[in-house]
Structure 1
Amino acid sequence: MAALYDRIGTGYSSGRRTDPRWMAPILAALGDARTVANVGAGAGSYEPDDRLVIAIEPSGEMVRQRPPGPVVRAVAEALPLRDGAVDAVLGVLTAHHWTDWRAGLAELRRVAPRQVLLAYETAHHADFWFVREYVPEIGDLERGRPSATDIARELGTDEVIPLPLPWDFTDGVFPAYWRRPDAYLDPGVRRATSALSLADPDAVERGVRRLRDDLDTGRWRERHRDLLELDEWDAGFRLVVARG
């Protein structure tokens, strides 16, 4: 995974900007934790700035884009922290990338009594219109990943908070442009999403060509007229909170 993000992570800090509408529930879930380990920390999105944060990140490219602060190059499955080292662990859209997600969750439980993970229901992503209509190959990848429900079950919690996507969301997560389809024509937008970076480039290019044609002819807007009337949409993102 470090090698992957060394390759595809360029520009994440600009394309994946923190949105306050997700930051607020994440801060609420962290509660009064004064020390936080951010596992799979990336460029630092959604890290609190009012407490000590130790970033755990294997990719040098992602570390390069981070603000100043403590960083440890490591993976979730082998955290270089003692038992109970921090008050809480945070993981933002990372567990689906781990080689062994169950081992990673066990490590999170070991080092902190509170675990806060932003994850997603993989079935929702597999049924996203961009996947269903343009690059169905992404669906095969999504269906093989742990969903938010899987993660909550493994952690033994039923505290799962839906995080809908506003139409003007500023964090370029894969489905962020559900009402702004023209954005997917931008190579920079596509590079900032791992789902598209990991997919077969030929399949993505074919899908983008079909999308461009559907936008030019008005077919996309006719087919998705209902989405254009929504201010927010449930793409399956969930905040999983476990308190020991």
Structure 2
Amino acid sequence: MTTYENIGATYSTTRRPDPRIAARIHGALGNVASVINVGAGTGSYEPPQTVLAVEPSATMIAQRPADSARALQAAAESIPIADDSADAAMAVLTVHHWNDLEAGIRELRRIARQRIVIFTWDQDINRKFWLLDEYLPEAAAFDEERAVAIDQLTELLGGARIETVPIPHDCSDGFGAAYWRRPGAYLDPAVRAGMSHLALVGEETLHAGLARLSDDLVSGRWQKRHADLLDQETLDVGYRLLIADL
């Protein structure tokens, strides 16, 4: 059973695609005529020219919109379709879940004719995010074990352009650092359930750190410590686009 059979039930509610991030991903894909989304989840960020979604979790596939692209239940490491099946392949916040990264990247290179676009994060930057650094070191340690280094991805892709994707303060997609200016959101169990690094670490492990965050918000300590964030519209918390032309 895949990870998201257990933790993916709320994704269609808490992980709604943000249009600004969508614009960056779609821009990175360029003017390709066909796209395959690998590790597609509920279909976030799929452009109109998506012809196939590849996703191992039935729970995630069940939450895809009725008018979305056809979904194939399969793992990224072994996609049962022909070589050069689409102009481009995309993978959004998924490579850290793959059991065999090298096999998964080989499959992206095999099925795409022109371009591969990967949206992921740079752990060297993300580990410094205040939530992980100050309150939830257990989640940071979990991410250290599964995060994929940007230079490793670039090498496996055979080279790639790397673009920084700053996260807007009102981001509608509730991934790990999306609430950097809305700290109270991390106290909501439904929000945490949509973040794999928090959901998989578990509520008991996170309890003490979340209690400290709650206290700091009530007392105003968080607001004083992070006053510099309160006027910022976007923040670089490590999210990156990798664009590889084949």
| TM-score, normalised via structure 1 length | 0.95
Deviation of the 1:234 alpha carbon:
0.3
Deviation of the 1:20 alpha carbon:
1.2
| Structure 1 residues 151 and 54, CA gap change in structure 2 (3 angstroms) | same
* Structure 1: tracts of 5 or more residues without a match: none
Partners in 1 of 2:196 and 2:58 — Cα distance?
17
- Conserved? CA contact 1:56–1:75, under 8 Å: yes
Which residue of structure 1 lines up, in the alignment, with residue 31 of structure 2? 32
Aligned partner letter, 2:51: V
Q: Following superposition of structure 1 onto structure 2, how do residues 19-58 of structure 1 map, counting pairs within 5 Å?
A: 19-49=18-48, 51-58=49-56
Q: CA RMSD in A?
A: 1.2
- Conserved? CA contact 2:213–2:222, under 8 Å: yes
1:170-224 deviation digits (Å, cap 9, x = unpaired): 1111100101101111111100111101114222111111100111111111111
Q: Following superposition of structure 1 onto structure 2, how do residues 1-244 of structure 1 map, counting pairs within 5 Å?
A: 2-49=1-48, 51-68=49-66, 69-113=69-113, 114-144=115-145, 145-244=147-246
Deviation of the 1:147 alpha carbon:
2.6
Partners in 2 of 1:19 and 1:200 — Cα distance?
26
1:119-174 deviation digits (Å, cap 9, x = unpaired): 11012222211111111011222222213332122212241111001111111111
Aligned partner letter, 2:27: A
- Conserved? CA contact 1:134–1:208, under 8 Å: yes
Moved more, 174-183 or 119-128: 119-128
Aligned partner letter, 2:9: T
- Conserved? CA contact 1:123–1:143, under 8 Å: no
Partners in 2 of 1:98 and 1:52 — Cα distance?
21
Partners in 2 of 1:132 and 1:200 — Cα distance?
18
Partners in 1 of 2:84 and 2:160 — Cα distance?
22
* Structure 2: tracts of 5 or more residues without a match: none
Deviation of the 1:14 alpha carbon:
1.4
Identity among equivalent positions (%) equals 44
Aligned partner letter, 1:122: Q
- Conserved? CA contact 1:159–1:240, under 8 Å: yes
- Conserved? CA contact 1:126–1:138, under 8 Å: no
SS in 1 for 2:218: helix
| TM-score, normalised via structure 2 length | 0.94
SS in 2 for 1:77: coil
Partners in 2 of 1:162 and 1:52 — Cα distance?
24
Partners in 2 of 1:156 and 1:81 — Cα distance?
22
